[in-house]
Amino acid sequence: MSAPGAVLARRPVGGGGDSGHPDPGRPGFGSLLAQIALVVICAGYTTGASLGWGSPELALFMGDFGLSAAALTAAVSCFLYGRAHRGSARPAWLLFAFSSFMASAGNAVWGWYEVVLRTEVPDSSIADLFFLLFAPPAIVGLLVLAKKPVTRAGWVCLALDAWLIGGSLLTLSWSLALARTAHFQNEPVAQAALSLAYPLLDIVLVSMVLVLHFRRSQANRSATNTAIAALALTVLCDALFTSPLLRENYASGQLLDAGWFAGSLLLAYAPWGVRRVPDAAATARGQWLHSRPVAGSLAALTPYLAAAVCTLGILYNVVEGRRVDRVVVLTGCTVVLALVVRQGIMLLDNIALTHELAQKENHFRSLVQGSSDVIMIAAPTGILRYVSPAASGVYGRDAEELIGSELAALIHPEDLGAVVHEVRRFLAVSPAEEPTTRIECRFRSGRGDWLNVESTVNRHQGGLIFNSRDVTERVRLQAQLQHNAEHDPLTDLPNRALFTRRVRQALSGRRASDPGTAVLFIDLDGFKGVNDSLGHQAGDDLLVQAARRLHDSVRAGDTAARLGGDEFAALILGDGGRDQAARQKQVQEIADRLRLTLSRPYRVDGGNEVRVAASIGVAFAEPGIGAGDLLRNADLAMYRAKAAGKDRVELYAPQMQAEVVRRTELAARLRTALHDGEFALLHQPVVDLATGRISAVSAQARWRSAQGILFTPAEYLRVTDDSERTAELGRWLLEEAVEQAAERAGIGHRAPVSIRLSTRRLLDRSLPLGSIESLLTRHGLPSGSLIVELADTDPRIPLDELEQRLVTLRRLGVRIALDGFGSGHVAINALRRLPVDILKLDRGLVEGVVESARLRKITRGVLRIADELGMQTVAEGVDVPEQVVALRAMGCSHAQGMAFSGPLDEYRLRRALVRDEYPLPGAVPVQVGNRPPFRSNNETPVPPT
């Protein structure tokens, strides 16, 4: 037998009760105590009744008021349950409550006569009315609990079944007792009718009980069964009481009362004492009960049993030698007629059902044969008994070829164990809890390859039904989507998510204690220049080649990844060795080889040769370190490599983290520095090289932190990437500079103020033109008193929009200066397109102008261009007298730097403006190659404000 066959041959334990799940219909501990109490109380009452209760007075009391109390208990119990539980059975329990209340009232009236008034109960009293009202609501309640027919023929059959049972019982009882009661007692008509009413109503109630036994619904089945048993016990006692022989000798408190007492308490217990079955379990159990052959056989034999009872009634009269009573004959004829009509209806119903079944069978056969899914039925032995024709299209094998083969022969050996495990688990679960399951595995096709197949599995006569479909394309698409989610789309290397997961795996399991595992963070220096100069296509080509070199350079078990942009990473797994120094040396050699490999020239964009360098940071695993911390350490080491000059390898050291913490704290303090008033505005004079007078002042911000440390813009802007904070600082600088310039103009110092703004900041919508105009108007700054320096000219900035913005500013009287001219081709392009008034020479053209003859020629050419375009020129970073002499000789008109003054606070600036003249150095011979010492603006000591 095959492996699946061995599983299928095992009987499902879900239907037996060994599955480990509690039976929802089995009573709990509280219900068991209630049952014990019920038995004890009923046994006690029965014992007392059989012994006569010890005295006639107590017997009368227990026989009357005891029965009344039991019936009242049933009435209250059914009423409370009917109020608390809403559903289709609610009216039935309310009717049972009313019926029990009538019984309680009848027994109470009976006790009033016998116990209180100490007299016999009249033959016709109000107690009889209450007792007669007991049966009708109980009959209607049983009808409510019955399973409702869905067709007209079903309703007719229900009525016929009730009459068949009732008529047969009437025939039998009439032959045995009722005829004698009706004909041979000299009683008044009312008394005779009352005597007949009891047994007739009991016959109807018994008929309903029997009909309901075969037609009751599945909802709350246990409670319904208990209620039926309670009513059946009550009807049996009523039938015994209506017997003339027993009735003549009956007295309250006798053993017959124990039956009524038990029936009432059982009805009171019915709705509460039995644990309810959930809907799904009730449905499954109902299907099982309906499928039992005994119940079906008894339901089918009901009409014939009724006819047999009628025949027994007639035969009894014949055997006794009596004349056959008319009532018996009439009832027997109606029963036979009902039987004939019922059989005719059932015959027509069977013909219709047979026709409908044939149609449905043809319909489902066409659906199965025309379905694109493959439907297979496996016997308990694991042999395929049926395979739908779709197998030829899905599996490439004919259905006839598959029939009779083992299921295990179709499943891939690697998937067979999982399939067997799932089938075994599925068969161990109750069908009500899990009617189907889903299995995905690989099936062998007729072409010799393996197909990914998804199957929905159902139980079928001990075996299984497989509804299978080919999902090979879906599996391939999922694999592709998974690959795309974990790999970089450009280089096809693992992305950050997959790389982080592999690092986490390397730090766990058997490699958790291996200190030789290392992570390399790699950044390509100069990649941005390739992107800017040759375009993004060339940059992408370079990244693809770099990724290929990186992938080819690492070992088979290692991982190379692209983290984003020009950042790459590599995971170097440890070799299990304990010599940490040797391992660090080995990994550093690997990193150096990677650096050299990645720094070789690249041919991109049709043959252009470009070079980039690689800065690499290395971090080694430590005991207890997580993947995130290890990646962060490698990242910090990479940034240290870039800060130390690029194109180098740096190993992580703990002090790097301390530096990051310091920078983070500095950035955090910077966010509140403006609001705390820690920024100060300084001004550096711009001197006319022809006269030595101050022609303008350049506004500069300084941050004096709460710890007393003074930071220049280059220092405090380097620690924050907060563009919002930078924009806020720019707004403060602009407004503060304009306000102070206006105050100085008010006292006669009309030197223009120069403010440096980036082109991005100038085009930022948070700084509209109207704000600058309103700022100048609000402070009354004269026209020409504001100079805007363009701090950079990003090639990605649209020059058309920038030109339009600058033209608008010039209309407001603002002059435009181009800062940092001579630093590259971008400045030349800006000079050609933008409306510029002042040209500021880059510090790189000034610092070596004394020593380098070549640089002097370049600077002289730039100054000549500015002169021919009618622009003023300002040299930045003029720190020594020799630079002043050289620049003035080459035609530079203005200069600023330590040769004249450093940045000044407002008090010292006004003193300088009052003096308004700086001495100009005379003719000093230029000493080529003998550069005098000087300090840059970034290191200028600033007096306290």
Record the tokens describing residue 849, joined without a space: 């102008």
- pLDDT of the residue at 74: 92
CA-wise closest residue to 699 among 709, 685, 715, 717: 685
* C-alpha dist (Å) from residue 638 to 16, 368, 488: 67, 65, 21
Residue 339: phi, psi to the nearest 5? -65, -45
**What's the confidence (pLDDT) of residue 644?**
78
CA atoms within 13 A on the CB side of 495: 12
Instruction: State the Cα torsion 899-904-908-910 to the nearest 10°.
Output: 100
Burial 354-388 (b: 16+ CB within 10 A, else e): eeeeeeeeeeeeeeeeeeebbbbbbbbbbbbeebb
pLDDT at position 23 is: 46
- In this prediction, residue 514 carries a pLDDT of 66
pTM over 0.85, yes/no:
no
Pairing of strands 518-525, 567-572: antiparallel
Classify strands 786-790 and 613-620 as parallel, antiparallel or unpaired.
Answer: unpaired
The pLDDT value given to residue 550: 93
- Give the integer Cα–Cα distance in Å for 639 and 656: 9
Question: What is the greatest pairwise CA distance in the chain?
Answer: 166
3-state secondary structure of 421: helix
- The dihedrals phi and psi of 702, each to the nearest 5 degrees, come to -130, 145
What is the chain's length?
A: 945
What value does the CA radius of gyration of the chain take, rounded to a whole number of Å?
A: 53
Separation between Cα atoms, residue 793 and residue 674, nearest integer Å: 27
The token duo for 498 is 């997959």
Residue 510's pLDDT is 65
101 Cβ neighbours under 8 A, 6+ residues apart: 71, 72, 75
Cβ atoms of 376 and 466 within 8 Å: the answer is yes
**Alpha-carbon torsion, ordered 504, 509, 510, 513, to 10 deg:** 60
What one-character-per-residue DSSP string does 314-334 give? HHHHHHTTPPPPHHHHHHHHH
> 116: which DSSP letter?
I
- Under-50 pLDDT residues of the chain: 1-3, 7-25, 178-185, 188-194, 196, 212-214, 276-298, 825, 923-945
Q: How far is CA 348 from the centre of its chain?
A: 55
Inter-helix orientation angle 527-534/536-553, to 10°:
140
Alpha-carbon distance of 26 to 33, in angstroms, equals 13
Name residue 145's amino acid.
L
Spatial contact of 855 and 848, defined as CB atoms under 8 Å apart:
yes
Q: How far is CA 934 from the centre of its chain?
A: 65
Query: Residues 710-722: pLDDT tens digits?
Result: 677 656 665 555 5
Provide φ and ψ at 442, rounded to 5°. Answer: -105, 130
**Per-residue tokens: 855:** 């640089």
- First-to-final CA distance of the chain: 97
**For residue 541, which of 494, 495, 492, 490 has the smallest C-alpha distance?**
490
Identity of residue 135: A
- What per-residue confidence (pLDDT) applies to 463? 83
> Which pLDDT belongs to residue 24?
45
